Amino acid sequence: MSDPLAALVAISMVLSSAPDPGAELDPGPSAKCPADMRLVTGTHHDEVHFYCTSPFQDLKEQKCMAYFEGISAYEGKVTQIDVCMDQYEAPNKKGARPFVMKSYKSALKWCSDRNKRPCTEQEWETACEGPQVLPYAYGWAVDKKVCNSDKQWKPVDFSKFGKIDEEAEREAEKLWQGAPSGRYARCASAFGVFDMNGNVEEWVTTRPSRKHKGALMGGFWAKPWTGCRGTNDAHEPGFVFYETGFRCCADPGTLDEKGKPLKKGS
């Protein structure tokens, strides 16, 4: 008869030596960026149109759950993107709980304190879409198992969120359904940037045509249909809510691998 304990030990050794399923989605760091950021490059078009094959109507507007693979149209201003982007939502640590109850103003300060800045809307879209310009970071159709985006929506007591205080923080904690950064190992773009669809909604610096300086991208844990486009620009920069977070960006070649500023000419 085989030894059950020996069998468990053997299984644990196999599991511990198994590769990280998210590793194959990560191209790794670049010499131009800190080790905890990823280089994002590409051509960004202000408008990208896809052919929806799975539309549905919610209370406000028509949404889509899948698009015809390979059919795309590009319009508007063209911008060349070359940026270092945090691999994870702030605080940019794998396994850490991403920040919520953050405004665009607080994102500006937090990123600035670390020699970075909030990502622009165009940078964020390019990082999410990847070189293939996909509607979702992981493909052409919603897969509710890939990202943390299919939690059941919880009723919100909006009266608790008039200002940031203990009452608002307690309500946010009751509503929390986020996941530690990187927990969803396949929820990554081709550039190795994680959790761009779902988890927490992310503040970005907007296009000049927007009403406000900041806007929110990527949806959160209860919006599986939210893709790489679909900017939420309804809120002023001081707005905070139970699912609002951010990630930071920096220009390539400005920070060393530990995130410290490089001297000019070095």
Q: What is the count of structural domains for the chain? A: 1
Q: Does residue 7 form part of some domain?
A: no
Mean pLDDT in consecutive groups of 10 residues from the start of the chain, 266 residues = 40 37 77 98 97 89 93 96 98 98 98 98 98 97 97 95 91 98 97 98 95 97 95 95 98 97 76
The answer to whether residue 138 sits within a structural domain is: yes
* Residue 61, pLDDT score: 82
175 within a domain of the structure (yes/no): yes
What is the tens place of the pLDDT at every residue in 68-104? 999 999 999 999 999 999 999 999 999 999 999 999 9
Domain holding 60, by residue range, is 23-250
CATH code: domain of residue 237: 3.90.1580
Residue 16 counted as domain residue:
no
DSSP letters along 133-196, please?
T-SBTTBSB--TTTSS--PPPPP--GGGGSSSSHHHHHHHHHH-----TT-STT-B-TTS-B--
For the question of whether the overall pTM of this predicted structure is more than 0.85, the answer is yes
Q: Residue 257 falls within a domain, yes or no?
A: no
**Residue 37 counted as domain residue:** yes
Give domain status of residue 97, yes or no: yes
| Pairwise CA distance, residues 181 & 206, whole Å | 24
Count of beta carbons in the 10 Å neighbourhood of residue 225 = 19
- Has residue 197 been placed in a domain? yes
